[in-house]
Amino acid sequence: IEIISFYPFLLLWVGEAFIYSQEYLRHYYTLKKEQPLARIKRYLPSFTSKVKDMQSFFGLNTTGSLDSETLEVMSTPRCGVSDVEDYSHNNRVNRWNKNVITYNIGRYTSDLPHSTVDSLIESALSVWARASTLTFVRLRTQRADIMVEFSTFEHGDAYPFDGSKGTLAHAFGPGEGIGGDAHFDDDETWTAGSKGFNLYLVAAHEFGHSLGLRHSQNPESLMYPTYKSSRSSHNLLSKEDISIINSLYGKEETIQQIQTLNNKCSADLSFDAVSTLGDATFFFKDKYLWIKHNQQYDIKEGPINNFMPKIESKIDAAFWVPRRSTAYLIHESMYWTVKGSIVKGKPKPISNFGFPPWVQEVDAAVHIIKTGRTLFFIHDIYYSYNENRRVIDAGYPQYISDDFPGLKSTIDAAVYKDGFIYFFVGPQVYKYDYTQKQVVGTEKANTWLGC
């Protein structure tokens, strides 16, 4: 009683507001657990300091006292990640060392149909894909980079949820194990609209953490800690968000596309992949595409996703299997299946072709109609794949230089036309007689675009 009468403001100790504020500051601003009452004089300055830190973060008056404005912010539903520390792993790695990131959904919420959750999660990831060089691929395994889980209270990660309202979700920074994972409090009411908590809005924020972003003090930023139901679902990212994701993963295609467009007749022009698709030939460079119809002189061109909206990345290799009327477009360790110009389903791992685990990318690919084989070129070796039996032929890989005399460099792209294989190596194209096993001509890559 003497202590309370000596410190009138200590009456708050018995109030719910003070108790809640302690929990809030411990969780989000590293306030240490309170000392016994006898040491209260030592504890209060630390408490006041943390209140000021919180007020400063949210742009409030830094009074250090629990005024109504401060308590209102503290009571607003929010992300469970600390405002001053990250849920980081692997020595504070703040980015993935790759641009194709896998994800999967483990436990679902009962608030929404599974198909709706799938769609909202995919859309939330696309927010970041559109602003960067990242591609997200669903991998139906527990070993995906980003695992999405709906849980309540203690759920195995030392950061228990707190029931309805309060903490909505949290996510861990890039890394192995739990790194990248996003957890959502299933005591909340998850919706696809304005009632309850919009899963798309919350997930887009949490995936920012999964990619390495911290909380922002800018109320316009998607990475602002508190939930804002009024946020536009179309332009979620602020300039700050875009700048940070670009600093982590880069957004190179705008410059590359402009340079490529202006220099398509450059003597140094090269392609990443070339393939026929029906009666047209597709030329891929960075994230740009030219489509040349064999019976026409005009060439359609533009960013790849103008023609194939599902594809946000560059294409490393491509090939066409006529008897299936299907093309396969490869980027790093994943591939898309394309019929006409329609991308069918989700990307799949190239391990489906039977490659050993160390094969994580392909430089070039070409299908030989006469033999029914697809050849995959990787550095200085190649594999022969039997499209009928869907297995790699015995005895492979082989060295490219042994079976293709005259080719001594890494293959950038390859296409089969009129009985010949055309190998693209930098700006040079080698016309190769597959029957005679010899180069029978050379030309510049830009001539294929009419230059």
Q: Which residues are catalytic?
A: 206
pLDDT at 391: 94
Q: How many CB atoms lie within 10 A of CB 401?
A: 13
pLDDT value of position 14: 42
What's the chain's average pLDDT?
Answer: 85
pLDDT score of 6 more than 90: no
- 365 annotated ligand-binding residue: yes
Instruction: Over range 379-389, report the average pLDDT.
Output: 92
Instruction: Report how far residue 16's alpha carbon sits from residue 28's, in angstroms, rounded to the nearest whole number.
Output: 18
Q: Taking 60 as the threshold, does the pLDDT of residue 101 lie above it? A: yes
Residue 268 labeled ligand binder: no
163 annotated as a binding-site residue:
yes
User: Is residue 59 marked as binding?
Assistant: no
**293 labeled part of a ligand binding site:** no
CB burial of residue 262 (10 Å; 0-12, 13-18, 19+):
exposed
Query: Residue 297: which pLDDT band, with cuts at 50, 70 and 90?
Result: low
Whether 36 has a pLDDT exceeding 60, the answer reads no
Q: Is residue 354 within 8 Å of residue 397, measured between CB atoms?
A: no
Q: Can you say whether the dihedral through the CA atoms of 27, 29, 34, 40 is positive or negative?
A: negative
Where in 266-407 does DSSP place strands (E)?
273-277, 280-285, 288-293, 299-303, 317-321, 326-331, 334-339, 342-349, 364-368, 373-378, 381-386, 391-392, 398-399
Phi, psi of 50, rounded to the nearest 5 degrees? -70, -35
pLDDT at 3: 34
User: Tens digit of pLDDT for each residue in 40-55?
Assistant: 555 577 888 899 999 9
Is 179 labelled as part of a ligand binding site?
A: yes
Q: Which of 22-26, 203-207, 247-251, 320-324 has the highest mean pLDDT?
A: 203-207
pTM for this prediction:
0.56
**What are the structural domains, with CATH classification, of the chain?**
2-74 (1.10.101), 78-249 (3.40.390.10), 254-449 (2.110.10.10)
Report pLDDT digits (tens) over 127-151. Answer: 998 888 787 888 777 888 999 999 9
